[in-house]
Amino acid sequence: MSAPRIIVGVSGGVDSSVAALLLREAGEVVAGLFMQNWADDGSGECRAEEDRRDAVAVCGRLGIPIHFRDFSREYWDGVFAHFLAEYAAGRTPNPDVLCNREIKFKHFLDAARELGAERIATGHYARLAHAGGRWRLLRAADRGKDQSYFLHQLGQAQLAATLFPLGALPKEQVRRIAREAALPTHAKKDSTGICFIGERDFREFLARYLPARPGEIRDPQGRVLGEHPGVFYFTLGQRAGLQIGGVRGGTAAPWYVVGKDVAGNVLTVDQGHDSPYLMSQALWSEPAHWVAGSPPARRFACAAQTRYRQAAEACEVTVAEDGTLAVRFARPQRAVTPGQSLVLYAGDECLGGAVIAHTDAPLERRLHGEVAA
């Protein structure tokens, strides 16, 4: 049997199932590959075994071979160790971005080539275009499912070897295609969150690796309001889990996390969803990655997202000599969080992005002493 031209990353979900189906129907020589990215930790919460069975069933239904690779060590070294280090430092990382860069478009791509394939394909909702001698990463046609935010760390070599068969399709049509083809995953619920956390309580999971370190909860004026189990269990803008009761002389308005001082072990909170302590108009990043290989200019205007479920916001970007970015938004942004990804867009094109280092939010300015960009 000839080597497959395309290896599809089959995850056991409906999206990768339909990606494989569409390529097979287009006459491509296709095989599937199921990646195990997390070793069983004994909790029984991860859906990996169920997903593996579903991936096998889908490939059986499509009549295509399936291969298996265990990338759990690579995932630990390339994704999870960084995830823990960032939380320990008081930042909020985005492991999905790292997983795409380090696992799905690195180790998976290498494995596919070892099997003789020319390209890989995934069920991501994104589009590709080739013009002017370079590949462009574009938003999916279904804006509600667009995943280009998580793919912004990919480069020219990876995009040249990748297909996104679902990029032009709305999710409803993907479900319909799966149902009409009698794929066993057609009604399967979409996975949410991170596999190694699954449906369990996030704080309980994190506490297994980062033991509790209780400290004070204070308001911005320094008044002690309660005790937290560890600043790294919280993220900016978070409301749940603070367990702050009534405060003498205060109102009944809910409290939100507005600052994290890891060195002092203090969690700062304030009342109001749009507290001024949560607002920032400028941010500074770590060195950026550019899909094209270089920035469009040293200073340019574009749109940006500082989290996945967010409308793109107008901003001006300045690229420093060391590759870091200074970004100033046209209007203040809420809960811009160090450790998360800043992703830049020119219309539908994803230009690239960077990890957020810090912002000009009031409590951040106290820590970093920066002036606005």
- Catalogue the active-site residues: 99, 195
Question: Which amino acid, residue 83?
Answer: F
Angle between helices 171-180 and 14-25 (to 10 degrees): 70
Closest CA relative to residue 166, chosen from 99, 100, 118, 121: 121
Coil, helix or strand at residue 96: helix
Alpha-carbon distance of 5 to 187, in angstroms, equals 29
In degrees, to the nearest 5, what angle opens at C-alpha 243 toward C-alphas 237 and 246? Answer: 105
Q: Which two tokens stand for residue 187?
A: 């009604």
Range 314-319, long-range pairs (CB < 8 A, 24+ positions): 317/344, 318/373, 319/288, 319/295
Cα 156 to Cα 370: distance, rounded to the nearest angstrom: 35
Q: Please count the other Cβ atoms lying within 10 Å of the Cβ belonging to residue 227.
A: 12
Distance of CA 6 to the CA centre of its chain: 25
| Residue 373 one-letter amino acid | A
Q: Exposed/middle/buried for 334, CB within 10 Å: 0-12, 13-18, 19+? A: middle
**What is the C-alpha separation between 63 and 85, in angstroms, rounded?**
43
First to last CA, the chain: 59
Residue 156 backbone phi and psi in degrees, to 5? -60, -45
User: Which one, of 150, 154, 109, lies nearest residue 135 by Cα?
Assistant: 154
Cβ atoms within 10 Å, residue 165: 23
Total residue count of the chain as it appears in this document: 373
CA–CA separation, 205 and 224 (whole Å): 27
